[in-house]
A and B are shown apart, each in its own frame.
Chain A
Amino acid sequence: MAEGRIRVATASLAGCFGCHMSLLDIDERLFELLEKIEFDRTPLTDIKHCGPCDIGIIEGGCCNAENVEVLREFRRNCKILVALGACAVTGGLPAQRNHLDLGACLSEVYLTEPGLVNGQIPNDPELPLPLDQVHPLHEVVKVDYFVPGCPPSADAIWKILADLVAGRTPRLGHGQIQYD
């Protein structure tokens, strides 16, 4: 840890970046936070891979192979892993496809949908391959803390971060825990 600051990485998997937006919503408290932490891989730094970190924060659930790779990389490198937001905690909106058969789904969208001409299921190796179901993070790796909400409020995120940085077990009070 450079200058004794706590190293933090973040990523958005099968999410909408709404949780990251909410993170930015902690506004001027960011400056206070930045005195104590430094960022590793995040959408804010453009670092491509997560190195050894104290805290990893992940938004979104796992819906494809790439999500799994990133999540595993975070788990390998982060001492503390936090699932941030409804999708990371429950699978969220993307998981509402879980009762559908993936094969039938791809087939309907790309092959049999009326009006499609010469339909083809995209098969570029650059594209991450979808999993048959969307999973909340804790079904794929061990997760240490959970922050529900769609998105969690800036206050809730601030409280969790402040607790983690200070070495307190993170807790949210009434009005800060929300599932929507």
Chain B
Amino acid sequence: MSRNDPYPSVDAVVERYHADAAYLVQMLREIQETRGWIAPPVVTELARTLGLSRARVEGVAAFYSFLHLRPVGAYRVLFSDNVTDRMQGSEALLAYLSEKLWVEKGKLSEDGLLSIDTTSCTGLCDQGPGLLVNGRAIPRASRERLDVIAALILDRQPLDQWPAELFAVEDNIRRADLLLGNRLAPGEAIRAAILRGRGGQTEAAANERSWREANPAAALGPAATLEEIKRANLRGRGGAGFGTGVKWEACRNAPGEMHCVVCNADEGEPGTFKDRVLLNRHADLVCEGMTVCAYVIGGGGATRGFIYLRGEYRHLLEPLEAVLARRRAAGLLGRDICGEPGFDFDIEIHVGAGAYVCGEESALIESLEGKRGIPRSRPPYPVTHGYLGQPTVVNNVETFCAAALVAVHGGEWYRAVGTAKSAGTKLLSVSGDCERPGIYEYPFGVTVRQVLEDCGAGVGKRATQAVQVSGPSGTLIDASEFDRRIAFEDLPSAGAFMVFDETRDMFDVARNFVHFFAHESCGFCTPCRVGTAMMRNMVDKIHGGRGTQRDIDEMCQLSKAMHMAAHCGLGHTACNPMQDVMKRFRPAIQRRLRRLEFAPAFDLDAALAVGRRMTGRDDAGAHLETEA
């Protein structure tokens, strides 16, 4: 690097991470935070100091949407492009700002000052449209607020001098139940777990012994808390609903040099924002759950903890670091936690860089290891071969919170809430056409109709026509299904609950989701890489008024291939939105078809435009009729 380089040296960043290549994504992110982008010599230097091939480092950097290998503007404005943002007018606002600042969407302004583009859902659906400016979240975009932002940009005001009010993100908790209403003190769940391990003996009595050589007469130790987690019938809140107790037990039983606890805070499913609120409001509870997990699975060996925080939630990094520091000072993280000799555990935060696929647990682990976020082939599963090949539990933010509650109150208490197959409560991120968007916590088994009533959907003349439960990879239901229940046995949900009133075009909704999947496919496997892009082209063809029945047939053929052969859940579910619309709102597609049999995907006459311009011709032979 040149000696005139005004930025912290690459070496300094590498050194801070002990030249451990597993931190590559973090190093790239930090370097970019000071320099704006990652220049080719920086890539070369990083590769050299880490002993990696240059192509490997470049390959990682170019995988993540928020890492830039080309010069970018001093200000990078990204408009969240979830369907709920669009419903709140994001497209018109993007056009407004582009016009105001004389810049074309997706391009760098001529003076190199700024760029404006779209990004996948930023998790501000209840207070959208959402923006990211240089990675910092700004809710409630409006013409007035964009005027302020435009002036700040033109004044070249550094972001840390922008009015704090711009960045104020609300929690919007509308209904609290046992999780959001908890009053646990920091450390309470950990102490409860330790105490339960001693068979309820007082702390003083058992203080002599290490927790991992618990008194054989009590014969409990960490297994006692594991039993409670299993008794609670706690299931993962990330969507798949795998039994948390079974997962912890498998990890606990797996041999390894260390055991890892990973909190999946890569909340990328469009329409989901409950983890943002949990991390903002209940960060201690999240850490409690992770620490209890470490206690249960640690088996007396080394443990490590990670929170994988999605890049869009970068604004939560400093507050979370402060929580971790406070917990360390209070003896709730670090060595001999809660005075238990040998109970060592700490938590590091990894910030993602814009890749939805990293929400898949094995892709998340790859990213934690400083690689591209590509889902692994399974088996083996992370519980036996996870982070750096070690046994690893990956759980959702909400799952860890629930686990902390179970550690304190016990499994029976927890399972008494909810339904027989779905114990406890579920946080829903409600957005879309309703009066009171925000976070709603309900016991499992709540009907869709109840949620709609509570959030003020369908008030006035506009009836609710559909709800997208659990985001684009979930299920779209219509009004005939509003008595269905949010529960693993009926409508499982990772938390998204997007409401659409009767004025919304459900084809447009699905098209937004199809674009999302095409943008977020990691590209590893053929069916998803090519299939999502083909689906995108087909819905655009239909949207452009050129669709035919044949396109619908081709989409079905693609859906089948993707569903059967894709490598991970992203590819399996990428066709759900179109399939759901075909099933429940078929006329929304059919009425857009040009004709039944065949139509080209493009305008043939328009394909002659360049030829006409270059030759100056406009005679009859220089045109092609559009066939009726």
Contact = CB atoms under 8 A, between A and B. Distances in A.
B617 A129 contact: yes
B601 interface: yes
B594 to A, nearest CB: 13
B560 interface: no
Interface string A93-109: 00000000111001100
B614 A121 contact: yes
Given A65-B624, A72-B627, A125-B619, A140 B604 contact: yes
Contacts of B608: 65, 129-132
Given A121-B614, A121-B615, A123-B616, A129 B598 contact: no
Contacts of B627: 72
Contacts of A123: 615-617
B609 A132 contact: yes
Interface residues of A, number: 26
Interface string A107-146: 1000000000000011101101111110100011110000
Contacts of A122: 615
B57 to A, nearest CB: 28
A106 B614 contact: yes
Contacts of B612: 129
A163 interface: no
A142 B607 CA distance: 19
A27 interface: no
Contacts of B610: 101-103, 106, 132
B613 A103 contact: yes
A170 B615 CA distance: 43
B379 interface: no
Contacts of B604: 68, 131, 140
B35 interface: no
A104 to B, nearest CB: 9
Given A103-B613, A123-B615, A131-B608, A139 B621 contact: no
B112 interface: no
B597 interface: yes
Nearest to B616: A123
A62 to B, nearest CB: 9
B611 interface: yes
A127 to B, nearest CB: 8
Contact of A139 (B600, B611, B613, B619): B600
B611 A131 contact: yes
A129 B612 CA distance: 7
Interface in B538-554: 550
B440 to A, nearest CB: 48
Contacts of B95: none
B463 interface: no
A133 B603 CA distance: 12
The 3 A-B pairs with the shortest beta carbon distances in the complex, nearest first, are: A123-B615, A142-B598, A129-B611
Interface of A: 64-65, 68-69, 72, 101-103, 106-107, 121-123, 125-126, 128-133, 135, 139-142
Given A129-B611, A140-B600, 6 more contacts: A65-B621, A68-B624, A106-B615, A123-B616, A132-B609, A139-B601
